Chain A
Amino acid sequence: MRTSIRRSRRLGALAAVAAMTTGLLTGCANDSGSKSDTSGDGGGKGKTTITLGLFGTMGFKEAGLYTEYEKLHPNISIQENVIEKNENYYPALVNHLTTNSGLQDVQAVEVGNIAEVVQTQASKLEDLSKVAGVDKSNWLDWKWQQATTKDGQTIGLGTDIGPMAICYRKDLFKAAGLPSDRDQVSKLWAGDWSKLVSTGEQYKKKAPSGTTFMDSPGGLLNAILSSASQKFYDASGKVIYKSNPAVRSAFNLTAQAAKDGLVQSQPQFQPGWDQLISNSKFASVACPPWMLGYIKGKSKADAAGQWDVAQAPQAGNWGGTFLTVPKSGKNVTEAEKFVTWLTAPAQQAKLFAVQGSFPSAPSAYAMSQVTGAKNQMTGDAPIGTIFAQAAKSIPTQPIGPKDQIIQQGLTDNGVILVTKGKSADDAWNTATKTIDNNLEQ
């Protein structure tokens, strides 16, 4: 008896160890297999939980859209999982997509990554153009195209875009002897980015001490590039960044502004740059609507109402997100319905009112949430109509899978060097060398 007890104990321990190890080993593989267990509304409490994988604060929750949907559909509950930075979110998403495991029901994709997802992961994602209630004509045409594969499969629905204008400080412009009315300011540089830079030269002559005309070389370069009809890839998908004259001239113009000290030398969204905002050290910044929220977050109280928004020389797009539904998600049908509702014009307008994410649905531009939008930083400026005007003139620019890598190279390994005293040509060489090394497979 005694031995058999001991034996069974020992076997039990062994079994436990074995179970633990095999459990660990097969744990990952189990994910995709368990799909059918919890699908549909069989989730115990009779509720289906739709999960969203998001990056950063996208504002759906803050705008009350989840609660609204849950009220409309009492059998649904919605849960979001947020990873703060897209640099961390996106590699994990790609990893999950390639292994078809660990995916949420809805996954957000940033505009900088959408081309790569469209080209490499489309087979893992649902074609949302076929879902009932999705109407292609709701979206700006180029926004719709960005998430559509060559064979016509649309894998993501746009939530917002980033039509770019120039936000400027009225007080600093006045102090430097420039006009401060937004229409006059727009006229200063209408149609030509080099006029913006020469306005900067003018600003510099009588600039309040310690301030510069613009915030950072990266921001200026980004603004110029985004308004070009072609950027880094041509329509056939070939990398053309080095031979595209628009890229080189944008680079040179930015380098010139950097050399003349018209821009600060801090990279955007870094602590140093945040401090520039809070100390009111620059007079203008290329800004999509969401930037106003960022500025507000970093500004001291006395900056409220000092800002205004003028049109950019040529409008471009900065930012924007798509929502995709992975095929291996647990509640594909429910997720499709939810995404359709969430990206409808009415919801996009509500998101703009709260979060400043500008609608990618033109029919939302006439809605009261957009036309009546006011922003604390810009006083009474009708930002909804100003950005809507910019949105309408954004060019249809081919975006490629490695746009982000190329742009980051041009900014962080390129124009930023000019602020350190390198010549524009040297900076260009460093940037292209880095980019080519990063693109090489």
Chain B
Amino acid sequence: MATRHDTAAPLAKEGGAAPARPEVVRTTDERRRARMSRRWQRDMRWSPYAFVSPFFLLFVAFGLFPLIYTGWASLHTVELTAPTDMKWAGLHNYTRIFDDDFFWNAAKNTLTMGIISTVPQLAMAMGLAHILNYKLRASTFFRVVMLAPYATSIAAASLVFVLLFGRDYGMINWALHFVGGGHIDWQNDKWPSQIAVSSIVVWRWTGYNALIYLAAMQAVPQDLYESAALDGANRWQQFFHVTLPQLRPTILFTCVVSTIGASQLFGEPLMFDANKGASGGAEHQFQTLGLYLYEQGWVNQHLGRASAIAWTMFLILIVIGIVNYVISRRLRESS
């Protein structure tokens, strides 16, 4: 054993006086083990990166690059007909947004339609989830039915709703006629059109949210209800004092998701008046930011302007995200 040179004296550090490390004669087995160990280490260190790389490569190609390119395009005057022909415009595309009535009109519509679609949607979802949470016959059937609208394509749904909301021959006006309701022009009047578009959103997403609430409700411990019942709480009081507080994180989640969805509202208003397409009604009465962006970029072919709108929307979304975060932290602290 003592004949092994490498154990005889400590290795010299760089610049030291001790003799350099002599070449080690190893058996093939030892060499293979060393190699395996090196490989093992490399494997441990680099493989995870390789495994996650597809997502990041795709993200760079289809997420990050477009984002940066859009930012670059937003500083130029550039048309879709000649995307390589860019003229530097500085912040002009952004500054004009400030006095662009159409942009602010779209922003206002997005906000109001966001409210009139999200609030009833979540309230109805909560109610439905509460009912589904009782013992029901064929409950799976009802749960699947709830999800059916979510699985329908926006285009198909919107086409049906357009027919329902028709002014002269639509079923809704026909039904209103019997209760003495007026002749509502669902497409051309401001609030009716916004309500009609929101109703498509509500129809589509209520079931989805209801199932999320239902899942959360079923995770509420049964003994909480039992003790509440022992204290004399009726169903309604149980709902308010047991279910709702237990569901708080879930409600927050659905609020965030719905807010993001509402701020990106696009397909429903686009399909609702296919003739006017992206202009969102004769007086832009239901044009959302998404539609305005599409109109500038793809109908009018002003890529630079559209890019600036896209970035502004992105910034607005970040602000909404921060507000959401702050509110949810306050709520968590207060509870």
**A267–B276 CB distance below 8 A:** yes
Q: Which residue of B lies closest to A275 (CB)?
A: B169
**A416–B58 CB distance below 8 A:** no
Of B79, B81, B295, most A-chain CB atoms within 10 Å: B81
Q: Which of B135-143, B217-225, B277-285, B319-327 contacts A (4 or more CB under 8 A)?
A: B277-285
* B267-325 interface with A by 8 A CB criterion: 273-277, 279, 282-284, 295-296, 298-302, 304-305
* B93-147 interface with A by 8 A CB criterion: 100-102
Which residues on the B side are within 8 Å of A417 (C-beta)?
282-283
> Of A3, A17, A21, A413, which contacts B279 at CB under 8 A?
A413
Q: Does A24 contact B (CB under 8 A)?
A: yes
Docked Cα-Cα span, A23 to B279, in Å, equals 38
Which residues on the B side are within 8 Å of A3 (C-beta)?
36, 39
Chain B nearest CB from A222 CB (Å) reads 13
Which residues on the A side are within 8 Å of B296 (C-beta)?
438
Docked Cα-Cα span, A420 to B282, in Å, equals 10
Docked Cα-Cα span, A177 to B141, in Å, equals 61
**B275–A270 CB distance below 8 A:** yes
**A116–B81 CB distance below 8 A:** yes
**A17–B50 CB distance below 8 A:** yes
A-B contact count (CB 8 A): 100
Known: A437-B102, A441-B77. A413 touches B166 (CB 8 A): no
**A24–B162 CB distance below 8 A:** no
Interface string of A418-441 (1 = CB under 8 A from B): 001000000000100110011111
Docked Cα-Cα span, A437 to B163, in Å, equals 31
Q: Does A271 contact B (CB under 8 A)?
A: yes
Q: Which residue of B lies closest to A267 (CB)?
A: B275
**A94–B275 CB distance below 8 A:** no
Docked Cα-Cα span, A412 to B287, in Å, equals 14
**A412–B279 CB distance below 8 A:** yes
What's the tally of chain B residues with a CB closer than 8 Å to chain A? 47
Chain B nearest CB from A220 CB (Å) reads 16
**A412–B299 CB distance below 8 A:** no
Which residues on the A side are within 8 Å of B24 (C-beta)?
none
Docked Cα-Cα span, A91 to B81, in Å, equals 9
Which residues on the B side are within 8 Å of A94 (C-beta)?
80-81, 301
Which residues on the B side are within 8 Å of A121 (C-beta)?
81
Chain B nearest CB from A296 CB (Å) reads 20
Chain B nearest CB from A118 CB (Å) reads 11
Docked Cα-Cα span, A405 to B188, in Å, equals 20
Known: A25-B61, A267-B276. A439 touches B36 (CB 8 A): no
* A383-441 interface with B by 8 A CB criterion: 405, 408, 412-413, 416-417, 420, 430, 433-434, 437-441
Which residues on the A side are within 8 Å of B101 (C-beta)?
433
**A21–B54 CB distance below 8 A:** yes
Q: Does B20 contact A (CB under 8 A)?
A: no
Known: A25-B61, A412-B276. A271 touches B80 (CB 8 A): no
* A70-129 interface with B by 8 A CB criterion: 87, 91, 94-95, 98, 116, 120-121
Docked Cα-Cα span, A24 to B62, in Å, equals 10
Which residues on the A side are within 8 Å of B58 (C-beta)?
21, 24
**A17–B275 CB distance below 8 A:** no
Q: Does A14 contact B (CB under 8 A)?
A: yes
* A1-33 interface with B by 8 A CB criterion: 3, 7, 10, 14, 17, 20-21, 24-25
* B174-211 interface with A by 8 A CB criterion: 185, 188-189
Which residues on the B side are within 8 Å of A413 (C-beta)?
276, 279, 282-284
Which residues on the A side are within 8 Å of B53 (C-beta)?
17, 21
**A98–B81 CB distance below 8 A:** yes
Q: Which residue of A lies closest to B96 (CB)?
A: A440
**B80–A441 CB distance below 8 A:** no
> Of A98, A266, A267, which contacts B80 at CB under 8 A?
A98
Docked Cα-Cα span, A229 to B224, in Å, equals 81
Docked Cα-Cα span, A22 to B77, in Å, equals 32
**B305–A441 CB distance below 8 A:** yes
Which residues on the A side are within 8 Å of B83 (C-beta)?
98
**B54–A441 CB distance below 8 A:** no
Docked Cα-Cα span, A434 to B102, in Å, equals 8
Which residues on the B side are within 8 Å of A437 (C-beta)?
100, 102
Q: Does B168 contact A (CB under 8 A)?
A: yes
Q: Does A179 contact B (CB under 8 A)?
A: no
**A438–B80 CB distance below 8 A:** no
* B141-163 interface with A by 8 A CB criterion: 162-163
Q: Does A245 contact B (CB under 8 A)?
A: no
Which residues on the A side are within 8 Å of B302 (C-beta)?
440-441
Which residues on the A side are within 8 Å of B80 (C-beta)?
91, 94-95, 98
> Of B50, B79, B276, B277, which contacts A14 at CB under 8 A?
B50
Which residues on the A side are within 8 Å of B25 (C-beta)?
none
Docked Cα-Cα span, A205 to B285, in Å, equals 35
**A441–B166 CB distance below 8 A:** no
**A275–B79 CB distance below 8 A:** no
Which residues on the A side are within 8 Å of B54 (C-beta)?
17, 20-21
* A168-191 interface with B by 8 A CB criterion: none
Q: Which residue of B lies closest to A413 (CB)?
A: B282
**B36–A430 CB distance below 8 A:** no
Docked Cα-Cα span, A25 to B296, in Å, equals 28
Which residues on the B side are within 8 Å of A95 (C-beta)?
80
Chain B nearest CB from A103 CB (Å) reads 15
Interface string of B5-44 (1 = CB under 8 A from A): 0000000000000000000000000000000100100010
Docked Cα-Cα span, A120 to B298, in Å, equals 16
Q: Which residue of A lies closest to B36 (CB)?
A: A3
Q: Does A42 contact B (CB under 8 A)?
A: no
Known: A21-B54, A87-B277. A272 touches B166 (CB 8 A): yes
Q: Add 17 more A-B contacts to A10-B43, A413-B284, A430-B282 (CB < 8 A).
A: A14-B50, A17-B54, A21-B58, A91-B80, A98-B81, A98-B84, A120-B81, A268-B275, A272-B169, A275-B166, A412-B275, A413-B276, A413-B279, A438-B300, A439-B300, A440-B305, A441-B305
| 18 A–B contacts from the bound complex (CB under 8 Å) | A10-B47, A20-B54, A21-B54, A21-B58, A87-B277, A94-B81, A116-B81, A271-B166, A412-B282, A413-B282, A417-B282, A417-B283, A420-B282, A434-B102, A437-B102, A438-B296, A441-B79, A441-B304
Q: Which residues of A contact B (CB under 8 A)?
A: 3, 7, 10, 14, 17, 20-21, 24-25, 87, 91, 94-95, 98, 116, 120-121, 266-272, 275-276, 279, 405, 408, 412-413, 416-417, 420, 430, 433-434, 437-441
In order of increasing CB-CB distance, the 10 nearest A-B pairs are: A120-B81, A267-B275, A438-B300, A412-B276, A275-B169, A21-B57, A270-B275, A91-B298, A416-B282, A441-B77
